Chains A and B, each alone.
Chain A
Amino acid sequence: GQSLEQPSEVTAVEGAIVQINCTYQTSGFYGLSWYQQHDGGAPTFLSYNALDGLEETGRFSSFLSRSDSYGYLLLQELQMKDSASYFCALPGGDDKIIFGKGTRLHILP
């Protein structure tokens, strides 16, 4: 089956950089995605890595290492509005998509 592990909470300071890790288990690999969810809202797509390496989108970057079954989301120049939950997600070969339990990011002023 598929499973993902990520830390339940991370705390960082405004203006700093934070990394949220995700390790996964899957029988067939089809990429790793990241989503952001603010309290009471719906998840929104941040990034998708199909191949090893770093994908950059503005202040957010996502990294994947398929050999290590590991990825991370990097948030730079943290802003208070980045306080949210972040989920890694694993697409399956049959369109089944599984999410991790989420990492709650707390940002201190």
Chain B
Amino acid sequence: DGGITQSPKYLFRKEGQNVTLSCEQNLNHDAMYWYRQDPGQGLRLIYYSQIVNDFQKGDIAEGYSVSREKKESFPLTVTSAQKNPTAFYLCASIESRTEKLFFGSGTQLSVL
């Protein structure tokens, strides 16, 4: 089945630690996205990538980094500079023809 796979489902970060969230898609979509969702809130855009080896900052990119070395993969690193990382992180890709976003099942990140 085609889709977006995010891992892990739950992740815990220690003080001063960098952690990486995985996102893989087999939908052959060009553009991919990372969103952050806080309880009871909307989705805020962290980074997005329109094509391999290129990515753009979203509205809340500070404290995060990404890479796009392969079309299928768009990992997100939450760095120690992100002082409030506890949130639900969602990865998505878009079907350009329909403007339809396909989401992964998300990663819940918490701080120890």
Give chain A's interface residues, CB within 8 Å of chain B: 30-31, 33, 35, 41-45, 48, 50, 87, 89, 91, 94-102, 104
Contacts and interface: CB of A to CB of B under 8 A. Distances in A.
Contact of B101 (A33, A94, A96): A33
Given A87-B42, A95-B94, A99-B35, A45 B100 contact: yes
B45 interface: yes
Contact of A43 (B31, B43, B45): B43
A42 B33 CA distance: 14
A42 B98 contact: no
17 contacts: A41-B105, A42-B106, A43-B90, A43-B103, A44-B103, A48-B99, A48-B100, A89-B101, A91-B99, A95-B48, A97-B45, A98-B45, A98-B59, A99-B43, A99-B44, A101-B41, A101-B42
A35 B33 CA distance: 15
Interface string B82-112: 0000000010001000111111111000000
B20 interface: no
A97 B94 contact: yes
Nearest to A98: B45
Given A42-B105, A97-B33, A33 B43 contact: no
A50 B35 CA distance: 23
B9 to A, nearest CB: 11
Nearest to A32: B99
B48 to A, nearest CB: 6
B103 A42 contact: yes
B77 interface: no
B65 interface: no
Contact of A96 (B58, B99, B102): B58
